Structure 1
Amino acid sequence: MATPESVIEIGSTGVRLLVAEYSNDGKQNILDRSDRPLAIGKDVFTSTVISQETQNQLIQIFLRYREQLASWGISPGECTCIASSAFRDAKNCDPIMDRVLVQTGFKIRIVDGIEENKLMYLAVSECIKDQPVGFKKDDTVILVVGGSTTEIMMMSDGKMAGVHSLRIGTVRIDQQMRNQTGSYNDLQRYVQESINNTKGSLESELNLNRVKHFIAVGPDITLSALHKGRPISTFLWEIDKKDFSDFVDEIQEYSVDECVARFKIPYSEAENLHVSLLIYNLFLNFTKAEKLLVPETNIRNGLILSQHSVENDELQREFKMQITASARGLLRKYHGDEKHAECVRIIATKIYDALKDEVVLEEHARLLLEIAAILHDIGSFIRYQNHNIHSNYIIRNSEIFGLSKKDITIVSEIAKYHKGNSIPQDEDSFLMLPRSDRMTILKLTAILRIADAMDRGHIQKFSDFSIKIQQDSMIIHTKNSENTVLEKIALNEKAGMFESVFGYKVILL
């Protein structure tokens, strides 16, 4: 018998519970769900903190959910609790997390925008997987409008071209416009200009005119689908572009109270409906897509699915492909040398695999090495001299699908030390990192420096080689042993860290 699993999500406008289980055939069955409104976003955007009154309400909601989960035999410690951008932005989030843990037993984990994208991608993929929708082969936009941010994923020919967590959200815009007494036209212009500011950056990664599929996720867009769409399957709708645009215009004529009465939705949802649908419509108009696809899913479904994805080899391979595709998309945006990056990636992973028993890192580290290899020279876009410093800056301030902020920090540090004579241990910022992160950075940087040296001329000379560990040496045998002077000089310059970390001299034959 399947064991029920539960997720609680703290969003900008409410706290939501999902209880689900997996059947033997791998399908997710929803057992229970609840949604309690809570104005966390409004608090944070007006005062930067969550008020005492809202904190008390949050505690009461968790206590109610604790009773609800007890009926399913689930304890607070067995429930996954996540909080997104509004809670994350609150200056007093840490003491509130502690208070919730002490008083209710629930441990809250804060997720960043990139993890939200990953979980939403998983949820959408699951919802659409049995339908003839080729979003994994065509140019596609996946858009999720929230109270604090708008999450967007852009796919080119089915591969991740860019991901962004945009600071454009319904509650955020409502608070910014609250002191204005303008009309709907003023609101539309404000939202339009906010979105236009992002268009240039988005189109540097994906030509929006080529977008074939526009996938929109969220309760507001689901409401639109129920009234103007056609069901494709149990949890998937389709809306014609013109029908949706007409519905958005119609909604703007209704007051919040009228929305509550007409659509039988809570007041907290009705408050944000006008802005939410306007954002979806404006992004849709950037594209040539003639329809919206609306899956009824959410980040909570994605989180439960992610806990099963570790056992799903096919899903893991797809995630890895989308993560590396996102990194390549970022490199392409900054006009990097893709052939050199791919060559270094192949060499680095081959060295990693040869030393696997001595690297002794989590499996995820190999993927971080691949991403670092792809992006190590990206800083050359700014200036080739000291490009490793510029690479560190670009990576640290970019978004890469599937990587957490911690992952991006590790990758940026590896890129920073892939060249030059400085060592990480000389910098206080490195020494302040957890020991496990420091060892990951040192080991992966040492490997990357060797791989980069082997393509010093950026001509991909060594396409076929073998690695042998012999006593105190790592011997690299190449099929092309002629004219290797440049590579041997580069190895002599870069091999010091490798010998220090792994204890092996590097010999190129």
Structure 2
Amino acid sequence: MSDVYPHKTPQPGKSVPDVIERPYAAIEIGSTGIRLIVAEIDAKGELKILDRASKQSRLGRDVFTMGSISRDGLRETIAILNSFGELLQGYGLQPSDIQVIGTSALREAANRDTFIDRIGLQTGFHVRIVEDIEETHLMYLAVKKALEDERSFLTRSNAMILEVGGGTTEVMLLKKGQMVSSHSLSIGTLRIDEQIRESARQPRQFIEMYLESNIKTACDMIAEDLPLDSVRTFVLIGSDARFAAYCLSGKMFSHYAVLDRTQFIEFADSMASMSTEECMAQYHLSWNEAESYAVGLTIERMFLEKTGTESIIVPNASIREGILLAQVQGMDPTIEEELRRQVIASARALAKRFRYDEAHAAHVKTLSLELFDALKKEHGLGKHERMLLEVAAILHDIGTFLRTSGHHRHSEYLIANSEIFGLNREDINIVSNVARYHRKTPPLSTHVNYIGLPRESRIVVLKLAAILRVADALDRSHSGRVRDLSFERTEDRFIIRPSQSLDFSLEKLSLAEKGDMFEDVFGLLPILM
């Protein structure tokens, strides 16, 4: 199997950033194994894989049975990472140069903090635990790259991207290329295996009944975002999916494989019907691989059967490629803009679930961004904070779904307990607080969710909420009358001039009520002329 993504000639007229090619590396500490990738990334963001290494790990079994990582698991991890460190020295890379992430097993381990500390002291590697939302984001980057030459796979119809891991199953739903939602489900090959052993203690043939119940519940929830029978593109990621593609595509599996639905289902059923020993003998697998592949393919088959797709796409990609691409995504502004669009699409999908006023939200978003751009000198924030403001503006009123009175607090709760593709937990906490303060009382020391933020995040919340309050006041009537703004500063005033000459008495009254926070944060009194 080739590990080299296609090298492309730059398109005429397309600028190529000046980037020095050098090796990059990423390590994933997963539930079933610890895996390394080393690659070169050229100025166009193309990956050329130089090396891979993988060692099986007991971390998932430790965490999903005992709740924490055992001493043997710690010693095993240290030994594996030290061996990877020796390999990386051959590429001139030191532990401080490497991105090391931990996924579901480390997220759930009760002793994860001491584990990370011991790893850092004894190997030099700094482990960063990624949340399920970020894990999904990294997988999406890898899939987009692997399918770069066939973008129509994700844009021509509704699509589901599915990865079955040891601890969780990550699901992304796209409506003709636009992100609708992402979910992290507590369904994984190791987790299911341990739950069967510990609770049901049933023979292997009962696993399917157990999985069917869990997956039906998950699919009922997912179908609220997008009817699964409308899904026509089914993308599978993960070692078990790549194993199936390798077997079914005649071992000619390069950048991606396209598998027939019926063929895949028959292969998954065949693996499930075989004993672990038979799988090992026929496919030359280790015991752990034979066990996890059979369960993983069964999970994938059950999700597939809920959709209307006739073929499966299996990219030759993993989260590790996503880590590398995330390091250098700034090389290509089009990638950054594509991700921003997907974040906004996910926010809109969440807002629609709570029946928001789409026209009002869109207008407040436009006004917020105009104000943000006009106040660059005053706020000193960047593109990422601008995107967070955009998301907050879309979602600021969703709390009215629960109750109109106090809806700003309900908006905060709904946002804080939701997932938005491409945003990590810190981002979501900022957005939820910005929505919380779009009206009524500014932040107080008694507001736990605000005070619990890091100082830097509290400053961002203050600046973005101040802007959102003004934007919301300017559309007090929900009519979109205030538009096409121009701005003027005096010593202590920020004058807002709409392009129309209308009676803006209602908006001026609302701005007088809500402009105090803007004045406190920026030292300028907002005035609508």
TM-score range, shorter chain: over 0.9
- SS of 1:483's partner is coil
The answer to whether structure 1 residue 452 and structure 2 residue 481 are counterparts is no
Q: Indicate if the aligned counterparts of 1:239 and 1:292 stay in contact, CA closer than 8 A.
A: yes
CA RMSD of aligned residues (A): 1.5
Equivalent in the alignment of 1:106? 125
- 1:474 to 2:520 alignment: no
Instruction: Name 2:460's counterpart in structure 1.
Output: 440
Q: Quick one: distance in 2 between partners of 1:478 and 1:308?
A: 40
C-alpha deviation, 1:431, in angstroms: 2.6
In structure 2, how many angstroms separate the alpha carbons of the residues matched to 1:25 and 1:446? 39
Task: Confirm or deny that 1:412 pairs with 2:427.
Answer: no
Q: Distance in 2 between matches of 1:140 and 1:491?
A: 44
Question: 1:116 matched to which residue of 2?
Answer: 135
Deviation at 1:467, TM superposition (A): 1.9
SS at match of 1:120: helix
Instruction: Indicate conservation of the 8 Å contact 1:340/1:455, yes or no.
Output: yes
Q: Residue 468 of structure 1: SS of its match in structure 2?
A: strand
Q: Which letter maps to 2:177? A: G
Q: Structure 1 231/256 Cα, relative in aligned 2: closer, same or farther at 3 Å? A: closer
1:79-158 paired onto structure 2 within 5 Å: 79-131=98-150, 133-158=152-177
- Say which of 248, 253, 262 aligns to 1:228: 248
Q: Deviation of residue 136 (structure 1)?
A: 2.7
Once the 2 structures are TM-superposed, how far is the Cα of residue 25 of structure 1 from its aligned partner? 5.2
**1:207 and 2:227 matched:** yes
Provide, for residues 422-478 of structure 1, a one-character-per-residue CA deviation record: whole Å limited to 9, x for no partner.
Answer: 424442442332211110000000000000111112111123221222221111111
Q: Distance in 1 between matches of 2:499 and 2:215?
A: 53
Q: Which residue of the other structure, out of 63, 66, 71, is the alignment partner of 1:44?
A: 63
- Spell out the pairing of 1:92-491 with structure 2 (5 A cutoff): 92-131=111-150, 133-179=152-198, 180-229=200-249, 234-491=254-511
Q: Which runs of 5+ in 2 are unaligned?
A: 1-19
CA displacement 1:130-156 (0-9 Å, x = unmatched): 136331342111000101110011001
Q: Which moved more, 1:472-481 or 1:118-127?
A: 472-481
CA–CA distance in 2 between the matches of 1:368 and 1:137? 29
The one-letter amino acid paired with 1:166 is: L
Q: Report if the CA contact (8 A) 2:434-2:461 is conserved.
A: yes
Partner in structure 2 of residue 14 of structure 1: 33
Contact 2:370 2:485 in 1 (8 A): no
Which of 19, 22, 30 pairs up with 1:3? 22
Q: Which residue in the other structure is 2:89 paired with?
A: 70
- Give secondary structure in 2 for the equivalent of 1:460: coil
Identity across matched positions, percent: 40
CA separation of 1:118 and 1:228: change in aligned 2, threshold 3 A:
same
Count matched residues: 509
SS of residue in 2 equivalent to 1:482 = coil
Amino acid at match of 1:15: I
Could you tell me which residue of structure 2 aligns to residue 494 of structure 1? 514
Do the aligned residues in 2 keep the contact of 1:235 with 1:295 (CA within 8 Å)?
A: yes
Aligned equivalents of 1:224 and 1:232: distance in 2?
12
CA distance in 2, matches of 1:315, 1:425: 40
Question: 1:308 corresponds to which letter in structure 2?
Answer: V
Change (3 A) 1:248 1:430: same
- Partner residue, 2:528: 508
Structure 1 residue aligned with 2:5? none
Q: Secondary structure, in 3 states, of the residue corresponding to 1:271?
A: helix
CA contact (8 A) 2:45 2:332 kept: no
State the SS of the aligned residue for 2:489: strand
Q: Which string of whole-angstrom CA distances, capped at 9 and with x for unpartnered residues, describes residues 228-264 of structure 1? A: 2378972211111111111111111211222222212
TM-score relative to the length of structure 1: 0.97
* TM-score, normalising length: structure 2: 0.93
* Native 8 Å contact 1:231 1:238 kept in 2: no
**Do 2:442 and 2:517's aligned partners in 1 also have CA atoms closer than 8 Å?**
no
For 1:149 and 1:352, locate their aligned partners in 2 and report how far apart those are by CA, in whole Å: 38
- Equivalent position amino acid for 1:91 in 2: A
- Give the match's secondary structure for 1:464: coil
2:8 alignment counterpart: none
Please state how far the C-alpha of 1:78 moved relative to its aligned partner: 0.6
